[in-house]
Amino acid sequence: MTIQFNDETFRDDYTFRNSDWAIKRFPFPFHEDSYMYSVNMEQHKGGPAGSVYEKRFDVDEHYVSEMRDRAKVLDEDPLRCQSLPHMTLAGWDLLELIMESKSEDYPDLFELHRDGNKWRWINKPLGIDDTFTFLDESTLPYGPMEYITRQAQGDYAVLDQRDDMLWMDAGMITTQADWSLDFDIGMNFFEWHAPVPLAHEKGIFIRALKFLLNVQQGAPARRLNWTMTVNPLLDTSPEHYHKWGIQKTELTAENIGQKQHLRVELQTFFRLPRSNALVFPIRCYLCSFQDLMTMPKWGRRLHRVIRDLPVELATYKGFIDNRPLMIDYLSQFDDGLPTSPGIWPDRETEPPLQK
């Protein structure tokens, strides 16, 4: 299908909206009625047609507006995109991976023409037609990682692999769930995960790292992560927390359905060929509570998950104060019926709300 790109904002007047198509394909992150951290990783080799799993780098109706938002963030704070000097080759690897994937997966939107090292890249939604020399930085307006990630939805952490460890040595981070690239750059896998509660004790990070060190070229992996955001604010950075934190207190029983968003990250892992680095795209999807409630299964399940979530997780994810309000709202959509296993909405087979 051809995608109709929205003209919308993720700040100030918040005109962001999801179409029915976007709601239906929203990556609901709960495969059962409860949630706890786990090593939830699987191969990233496609998925149901139209789902966010289908393509290597999903492009949706928010693409153009998200890229505009990213450019604004970078104008204000260039430190959101950084690359340590030894990471330039990994940046080229990433540029190649995204250009190849997008031009093969969306030939009507993106074209890549290669003649040796002379490359021509056409990005129709953003109106870009650039010719450059692969591996020659002087032929691009930005470094290779910055150039391509200004044209790709989601954040990108680029990890150097050495001494059986991953190091966060480069990244483009403007749609983060409250963590700072500028602070974390140069840290290793255990250090940047240091603030996460419970998971270290459960051995989750040791097992996750072992898995990631063995991700092979051409065999990417993926997982979902989630949190909560009031208003469809993409840039929930710690840098600006003193400005957006107050919005969490503006939630009421009347506006919660529209203001409260479930924020889901589709995280993927790709090995890069020349640098042997690992790239970690973190793609953020937002959906308001009221839109989620149009799927009876998601209404039942979200209520149960939020109600039963351990205090440590609700605190870390920053919604412990608003949890009672959320539970009140969500309970209206839970009639106690069982839910089918898996994340898909199962619209045709799940019964409508019996209340």
Partner 1 sequence: MSKFEFPPSIPSRPVWGTLEARSGKSHLMIADAEGAEAILDVATPEMMANTHIIFISNGTDYADKLRTLNPAQFYEGPSYPASVQRIQRVLSAAHMGLQVYLAGTESLMGQAMNEAVNAGIPHTAIQTEHRGSTARRMQCVHCKGMTENVEMDPFVCSHCGLNLFVRDHYSRRHAAYQGVCIDAEDPGNVPEPKGIYE
Which positions are annotated as active-site residues? Answer: 223
**Residue 52 contacts which entry, partner 1, ligand HEM, none (Cβ below 5-8 A, type-dependent):** none
Separation CA 139–CA 137 (nearest Å): 5
90 binds ligand HEM (CB under 6 A): no
For 170, other C-beta atoms within 10 Å of its C-beta total: 28
Q: DSSP E strands: which ranges in the chain? A: 42-43, 81-83, 110-115, 118-123, 128-133, 155-162, 165-172, 221-230, 260-271, 278-288
Task: Tell me how far, at minimum, the Cβ of 229 lies from partner 1, in Å.
Answer: 14
Q: Which two tokens stand for residue 251?
A: 């939630």
**Residue 241 contacts which entry, partner 1, ligand HEM, none (Cβ below 5-8 A, type-dependent):** partner 1
Task: Tell which one of 193, 310, 312, 335 touches partner 1 (CB under 8 A).
Answer: 193
Separation CA 218–CA 270 (nearest Å): 7
Task: Tell me how far, at minimum, the Cβ of 180 lies from ligand HEM, in Å.
Answer: 8
Site for partner 1 in 7-36 (CB under 8 A): none
Site for partner 1 in 142-181 (CB under 8 A): 180
**Rg of the chain (C-alpha set):** 20
> Which single residue is written with the structure tokens 């799940």?
350
167 binds ligand HEM (CB under 6 A): no
94 binds ligand HEM (CB under 6 A): no
* CB-count exposure of residue 192 (10 Å: 0-12, 13-18, 19+): buried
The interface mask with ligand HEM, positions 205-244, x = CB under 6 A, is: ---x---x------------x-x-----------------
The interface mask with partner 1, positions 220-239, x = CB under 8 A, is: ------------------xx
194 binds partner 1 (CB under 8 A): yes
Listed ranges 2-10, 58-66, 108-116, 190-198: which one lies at the site for partner 1 (CB under 8 A): 190-198
Site for ligand HEM in 297-316 (CB under 6 A): 313, 316
Task: Tell me how far, at minimum, the Cβ of 123 lies from ligand HEM, in Å.
Answer: 26
Do 220 and 269 meet the contact criterion of CB atoms below 8 Å apart? yes
Do 144 and 94 meet the contact criterion of CB atoms below 8 Å apart? yes
192 binds partner 1 (CB under 8 A): yes
Listed ranges 21-29, 102-110, 245-253, 285-293: which one lies at the site for partner 1 (CB under 8 A): 245-253
Task: Tell which one of 59, 64, 204, 256 touches ligand HEM (CB under 6 A).
Answer: 204
**Residue 200 contacts which entry, partner 1, ligand HEM, none (Cβ below 5-8 A, type-dependent):** partner 1
Task: Tell me how far, at minimum, the Cβ of 338 lies from ligand HEM, in Å.
Answer: 27
Phi, psi of 149, deg, nearest 5: -80, -10
Site for partner 1 in 293-332 (CB under 8 A): 321
* CB-count exposure of residue 298 (10 Å: 0-12, 13-18, 19+): buried
The partner residues of 109 in beta bridges, in order of sequence, read none
Query: Percentages helix, strand, coil for the chain, rounded to the nearest 5?
Result: 35, 20, 45
Which CB sits closer to partner 1, 177 or 185?
A: 185
For 197, other C-beta atoms within 10 Å of its C-beta total: 14
Q: How is 279-344 classified by DSSP, letter by letter?
A: EEEEEEEEEEHHHHTTSHHHHHHHHHHHHHS-HHHHHHTT-TTTHHHHHHHHHTT--S----SSSS
**Residue 245 contacts which entry, partner 1, ligand HEM, none (Cβ below 5-8 A, type-dependent):** partner 1
Residues that bind partner 1 (CB under 8 A): 79, 180, 182-187, 190-195, 200, 238-243, 245-246, 248-249, 321
Residues that bind ligand HEM (CB under 6 A): 37, 39, 157, 159, 166, 168, 177, 179, 184, 192-193, 195-196, 199, 204, 208, 212, 225, 227, 280, 313, 316-317
